[in-house]
Structure 1
């Protein structure tokens, strides 16, 4: 399974992955998912939000109290191979082991592949699970646009989905008893092959729009310029300073300059700030300080600044009872928090959720060097199998 997915959406020059929601590489991953489900005789359910679930049902056909696992198949720009797909591949492998070992199934097991988890195309992370749980307004989601100006509603329609049908699915949520997501560790804190998540720290994304005046780079005097690149540069430096003051992390990893000519003063700059930290107050304070610094930097250059929050998730403490049960099933493994957002964090607002981490010796994620040793990946499959056996077969 892993070998089949590895080439899909991979940049031959950099080794990074470009699997954005409903683009050809991500659609190829979806086709792979459907093939794996059919190969096992699993029943596939497509919800209105673009999420997919492959169901293994007990002999009595019951659909309630299900144990959902899985992850996502999309990637960040130039991302690694493991972030997302490892959880989906491991879920299929765990079902295979349960069947091979003849463990009788008492509750359904679902393997989920959630849509637009990274937010790389439409800007809102965990969009599929946010829509499913009601964490985002469907009207707002329909209006989201990608870098080419295509709306989320238009992309859904082109994919054969009804944009007017997106939103919370109480029937589906009501059939799920809990969710357990396996994911590659996104850091280097884990010293054992497998660990359990205790919490997800607060995190969010904000968009800064700097409005200036486009002009000629060679004929416009410095005093006559309204150059939005200057306050943008100040905003980037302010993000680092604010993060250090508040004990958070802040990153400007995406910027769009209009018109983007070498010999032209920009008319506008749009930049995205990612901020995360141990407490909501610290993250909010970081963003407020960056906003203040950007406006101060913009004033002498007669540049406008607008700030918009695109997504935010408060601290997520995973269900303690489920976490303890997962830990008991594994015989005791390390427990650690994470600074990365996941569908498990979004789903935890509506049902018990837990996460397993597989060790990442490089400590690198969202980049081609992201890695997990094969032996650790197999240990992750065994751990997930043990958890599913306890939750769905016990």
Structure 2
């Protein structure tokens, strides 16, 4: 069964292929993501797992233990959505590996003493509605449900509308403390988003911590005009201000050791080649282990942007969309995982995960599978079949230890 996860990933390799960007584009509640949700439900059903979709759109696939209720359960899983032009491993690898791990455990004749549940969380990437790990944030009560219902994508579709179109009732989204209380621990397997394992020559690692990270929306308003008829001295060009934001973010992140600052999305309105823009929207992503350093970088970039905006005759508004503090995964759970996987290194990560959001509510841990390119959120993301198989075995070993107490 060691090739099971590879075979499962091959089954979905045609879903959401992005012919323009390369890789895969699978935003939450889109046709590709809904196809993946249906695929997961089908695969879980084939394994005799009991499917439960909650009010937040999280799919739960239960392997119930004999003579037990659904409490004190061990959870695993990941997400199915992607960034625009992402790889086929970020998220789906954790789902496929969880399904394959169930197969391995059954082949071993494991009889769980407590339930196991595989979870597929929606909108982990935040690529459609702007807030990462949205499903787990709702589950854990870390975000206002009404705010979420009113979120809109680039096409003006609200989260409530998209959820309803996907067959969900948006009135039901929100905290679910009873469900959380039924989980004793959550272990997420994920492709590594970096070269740590490749440099160490190891196939699998445990997670130590997730560094603090946040997203900020910057709205810059100027005055649209004619590119040929408007003198340079008479312009109020928001693109000039946006350029300063990008420059300042890079400059201020570079002087803080191991900080990361990114502007990966810019929207210029109206977007004509011969038109001076009326407005620019851009999004900053800032990360560092020290939460204060993240906020300091954002403050410095905001100040630099405001100075340029004043000089250019533009206005700016900077709004925090989400912020996740540094997460240290549960030490006791990690020690138990290390006892099962004594040769696995422990690596920190700069990428956010649903396990990091849930860490404030229940013990969580993570397994990383080697990525030989070190690239992620790009078609260059990769994982060798033998490393995928090693990840399934490692996950099965950890789950067996937890399920049999």
**TM value normalised by structure 2:** 0.96
Question: C-alpha distance in 1, partners of 2:68/2:22?
Answer: 44
1:15 Cα deviation from its structure 2 partner: 3.3
Question: C-alpha distance in 2, partners of 1:183/1:160?
Answer: 28
Query: Is residue 2:293 matched to residue 1:282?
Result: yes
Query: Is residue 2:187 matched to residue 1:180?
Result: yes
1:61 Cα deviation from its structure 2 partner: 4.0
Paired position in structure 1 for 2:250 = 240
Paired position in structure 2 for 1:259 = 270
Tell me the secondary structure at the aligned position of residue 154 of structure 2.
coil
Paired position in structure 2 for 1:310 = 321
- With 67-76 and 243-252 compared, the bigger mean Cα shift is at 243-252
> How many equivalent pairs are there?
394
Question: C-alpha distance in 1, partners of 2:101/2:22?
Answer: 28
User: 1:198-242, CA deviations, whole angstroms, 9 ceiling, x for partnerless residues?
Assistant: 000000100000001111111111122111000100110101001
Query: Is residue 2:302 matched to residue 1:295?
Result: no
User: 1:288-326, CA deviations, whole angstroms, 9 ceiling, x for partnerless residues?
Assistant: 111011111111110001000000000000000001001
**TM value normalised by structure 1:** 0.99
Q: Aligned to 1:222, which of 225, 232, 245?
A: 232
Question: C-alpha distance in 2, partners of 1:245/1:140?
Answer: 35
CA contact (8 A) 2:68 2:114 kept: no
CA contact (8 A) 1:246 1:285 kept: no
1:393 Cα deviation from its structure 2 partner: 1.9
What is the alpha-carbon root mean square deviation over aligned residues?
0.9
Please identify runs of 4+ aligned residues in structure 1 that moved more than 3 A. 12-15
Paired position in structure 1 for 2:137 = 130
Paired position in structure 1 for 2:222 = 212
Question: C-alpha distance in 2, partners of 1:126/1:24?
Answer: 20
User: 1:127-167, CA deviations, whole angstroms, 9 ceiling, x for partnerless residues?
Assistant: 00000001111111111110101111111122222212111
CA contact (8 A) 1:206 1:273 kept: yes
Paired position in structure 2 for 1:99 = 106
CA contact (8 A) 1:344 1:355 kept: yes
Question: C-alpha distance in 2, partners of 1:24/1:380?
Answer: 29
Paired position in structure 1 for 2:3 = none
User: 1:264-291, CA deviations, whole angstroms, 9 ceiling, x for partnerless residues?
Assistant: 1110000000000120011111111110
Unaligned runs of at least 5 residues, structure 1: none
1:331 Cα deviation from its structure 2 partner: 2.5
Question: C-alpha distance in 1, partners of 2:272/2:21?
Answer: 26
Paired position in structure 2 for 1:165 = 172
CA contact (8 A) 1:94 1:385 kept: yes
